[in-house]
Amino acid sequence: MYIKEFAKLTGVSVRTLHYYDEIGLLSPASVDGQNRYRDYDEQSLGRMAEILFYRELDFPLSSIKSILSSPDYDKADAFRKQKELLTLKKERLEALISALEQAEKGVISMNTFNNNEYERARKQYADEAKQRWGATDAYKEYEQKAAEYSDEKKTDAADGMNAILAEFAAARAEGATPDSETAQTLVRRLQAHITDNFYTCTKEILAGLGQMYVADERFKANIDKNGNGTAEFISKAVKSYCR
């Protein structure tokens, strides 16, 4: 199937599929040499299912790539655990629907909103995967720093990041271009803030983040709360900086 069909079937954007191909996470089954059309097949669907499973566990894309390329990776085990998680989700949704039907009759049950079983299973599978395959150096550094941070420090780090994103939005609104000194100064501040508060942000990592800001719809939507087009502006500014 062509990329638009594959995107619709899997629920991810075409932009995200292009990005997954760029970083070597999910490549098309074939690319037409003449018109550059990308074709995906059943093997591509299987790979996407594996990626979505680890995304459900909140793994960064770099770690997912490492896990899937590991020589001892067990695909059958990953699918089994994904099925268990989805089953728990299905049971909870059915319970919520039943509770709503009862609520229409005046009977309220708060137990239905308990999601502990699913979260416990999700954390267990994430912990198992981290223990078995490990994580990137950046992820390990982030976990170490996060463990040492107080709630106030975490808030300060998040507020600092949001402030930089807001300045990007303001620069764009004032007519700055991605390769302008204003935008490039903000990119340097972004890189320094990430290094100081989360993990060592090399140019390679920064370039990947810049792409992810527009490829991952969740990141894009969050950044664009500062103004539509902010994520695209930052992505282009980062690309210019990392050349």
Together in a domain, 129 and 141: no
DSSP H stretches of helix in 104-226: 116-133, 137-148, 151-173, 181-197, 203-215, 217-223
pLDDT at 221: 86
Phi, psi of 153 (to 5 degrees): -65, -40
pLDDT at 122: 67
Name residue 2's beta-bridge partners. 39
Together in a domain, 165 and 232: yes
Together in a domain, 121 and 141: no
Q: Which of 41, 68, 95 is the last residue of a domain?
A: 68
Together in a domain, 122 and 211: no
Together in a domain, 149 and 127: no
CATH of residue 235: 1.10.490.50
Contacts of 230 by beta carbon, 8 Å cutoff, 6+ apart: 165, 168, 169, 172, 223, 224
What's the domain count of the chain? Answer: 3
Quick one: tokens of 59?
Answer: 């793994």
Dihedral sign (CA 112, 118, 120, 123): negative
Together in a domain, 221 and 145: yes
Together in a domain, 20 and 112: no
Q: Which of 84, 107, 133 is the last residue of a domain?
A: 133
Residues composing the chain: 243
Per-residue pLDDT in tens (0 to 9) along the chain, 243 residues: 889 999 999 888 888 888 888 888 898 988 877 777 889 999 899 889 888 888 877 777 877 887 887 766 777 777 787 788 778 878 877 877 887 887 788 776 655 556 566 667 767 766 766 665 555 666 676 667 777 778 788 888 888 898 999 999 999 999 999 999 999 999 999 999 998 888 888 888 898 889 888 887 878 888 998 999 999 999 999 999 998
Domain that holds residue 196: 137-242
pTM of structure: 0.51
- If we measure between CA atoms, which residue out of 170, 174, 179 comes closest to residue 235? 179
Q: Which of 49, 68, 87 is the last residue of a domain?
A: 68
Contacts of 8 by beta carbon, 8 Å cutoff, 6+ apart: none
CATH of residue 30: 1.10.1660.10
pLDDT at 158: 85
Together in a domain, 93 and 57: no
d(CA 5, CA 32): 16
d(CA 2, CA 41): 9
